[in-house]
Amino acid sequence: MRKWISFPKQVGTSSKQAHADFPEQAIYEREVGRSGFFGPATHFHHQHAPTGWSEWEGDLRPRNFDFNKLTSVAAASPWQVPMLLHNAHCKFRIWHCRENMPFLVRNADGDELLFVHEGRGELYCDYGHITLEKGDYFSIPRSTSWRLEPIEPMELLLIEATNGSYQLPEKGLVGNHAIFDPAVLDVPDIDDAFKAQYSENEWQVQVKRHDQVSVITYPYNPLDAIGWHGDLAPVRINWRDIRPLMSHRYHLPPSAHTTFVADRFVVCTFVPRPIESDPGALKVPFYHNNDDYDEVLFYHEGDFFSRDNIDRGMVTFHPAGFTHGPHPKAFQAGREHKKKFTDEVAVMLDTRDALTMGDVCESVENPDYVYSWKAPKE
């Protein structure tokens, strides 16, 4: 048995509660926490912005990638897509799928999560047929055979739960129907479109195991199920089905927006919501040291209210080890309560283990991003 060394203390001048009613002489709050946002935490009140560095040397730094520049890297198979960020438990890639797949793929390394950033298409798998639309998540259990037929060119996030599985978060006090009701989850159907692709022609399945691809050939299409029953299946949810937790008096931590949980990482979804209205409540994400997790944010749609000069299709990567938080203009706008509603959709990946960047990342990185927290000159 073990237990955190934890005993609430108060030293100097501080607010009574986190994220609200800051001392006038120190408007910058910084949260230092463990185990994501679930462990012990301390809140500092600073006279200067915790991100107000003037110079930065070394490899550890906040990073920004413009993956829109990878549009020319189209691949017939997801197993041909270059790795962007990865560790032993998670792989993060972006796939441009423009043509019908004339074969099936199967991931024997772990569950796969697709997020449709652009386009739409028909997906066929062991469980049937489903149409994927922009903004859909689609979770595929390990070793499911599947293929895509784009109706429009598709750009998808691929997040692999390596040697793991995707589950839903515990929703605690708010109950099972909060954030999204499980009744909104869709599964593939054995419909007319699925039956129309039955075939006695030769088909191949590209199976990925230990990141090596093997090919299994069948003299028929192995997607030939006539029905199924059980409680294991791929599921779809669109971000528009997510109804976020909100508090008009308290800025909720990112963990409140968790959509999927896997081994040693989570996937969260930020969707439009009202901004806190209480005069004393923080109205932008708080500065924080989340020193047990690396944070990746993919910006899907909208105006990203805590960031400057970030466009849709970009990714920010904040490794553990330093303070991060809103950019100066966003922080000031939050103090002035200029916006009453967020207009953003973003997918966040928080990993318990350090992520490694793929070789392609360097070619699309903005090296000046580390200095984007410098306060604008008067």
- Helix (H, G, I), strand (E, B), or coil: what is residue 254? helix
Q: Are 169 and 257 in contact (CB under 8 A)?
A: no
Is 21 annotated to bind ligand? no
Mean pLDDT lowest for which of 13-27, 49-63, 265-279?
13-27
Q: Among 226, 236, 203, which residue's Cα sits nearest to residue 106?
A: 203
What average pLDDT does range 108-123 have in this prediction?
98
Residue that has been written with the tokens 């909100």 in this structure: 246
- Helix (H, G, I), strand (E, B), or coil: what is residue 245? coil
Q: Are 266 and 253 in contact (CB under 8 A)?
A: no
Catalytic residue numbers read: 251
Q: Among 215, 214, 196, which residue's Cα sits nearest to residue 204?
A: 215
Question: What pLDDT does residue 194 have?
Answer: 98
Mean pLDDT lowest for which of 2-16, 41-55, 108-122?
2-16
Question: What pLDDT does residue 303 have?
Answer: 82
- 265-270 and 258-262: which strand pairing? antiparallel
Q: What is the mean pLDDT of the chain?
A: 92
d(CA 358, CA 92): 10
What are the pLDDT digits (tens) for 192-237? 999 999 999 999 999 999 999 999 999 999 999 999 999 999 999 9
d(CA 324, CA 60): 13
Q: Are 203 and 221 in contact (CB under 8 A)?
A: yes
Going by pLDDT thresholds of 50, 70 and 90, the confidence category of residue 114 is: very high
- Helix (H, G, I), strand (E, B), or coil: what is residue 151? strand
Q: Are 190 and 161 in contact (CB under 8 A)?
A: no
Q: Are 297 and 315 in contact (CB under 8 A)?
A: yes
What are the pLDDT digits (tens) for 28-73? 888 888 877 777 888 888 888 889 999 999 999 999 999 998 866 6
- Helix (H, G, I), strand (E, B), or coil: what is residue 162? strand
Instruction: Tally the C-alpha atoms within 13 A of residue 163's C-alpha that lie toward its C-beta.
Output: 6
Delimit the domains of the chain by residue range: 28-65+244-371, 71-239
- 343-351 and 356-357: which strand pairing? unpaired
d(CA 300, CA 271): 10
Q: Which residues pair with 87 in a beta bridge?
A: 90
Please give the full DSSP string across 34-49, using - where no structure is assigned.
Answer: STTTTS-EEEEEESS-
- Helix (H, G, I), strand (E, B), or coil: what is residue 74? strand
Fill in the amino acid letter for 365.
E
Is 210 annotated to bind ligand? no
Task: For domain 28-65+244-371, give its CATH number from 2.40.400.10, 2.60.120.10, 2.70.98.10, 3.30.830.10.
Answer: 2.60.120.10
Is 294 annotated to bind ligand? yes
Helix then strand then coil, % of the chain, to nearest 5:
10, 40, 50
What average pLDDT does range 94-98 have in this prediction?
95
CA angle 306, 352, 298 (to 5 degrees): 35
What are the pLDDT digits (tens) for 303-344? 876 677 789 999 999 999 999 888 888 888 778 887 888 889
Q: Are 82 and 73 in contact (CB under 8 A)?
A: yes
Q: For domain 71-239, give the fold.
A: Jelly Rolls (2.60.120)
Q: Among 110, 207, 117, 85, which residue's Cα sits nearest to residue 160?
A: 110
- Helix (H, G, I), strand (E, B), or coil: what is residue 239? helix
Q: Would the CATH topology of 28-65+244-371 be identical to that of 71-239?
A: yes
109-129 burial code (b ≥16 CB/10 A, e <16): bbbbbbbbbbbbbbbbbbbbb
Q: Are 182 and 236 in contact (CB under 8 A)?
A: no
What average pLDDT does range 8-19 have in this prediction?
82
Fill in the amino acid letter for 131.
T
Q: Among 80, 108, 107, which residue's Cα sits nearest to residue 93?
A: 80
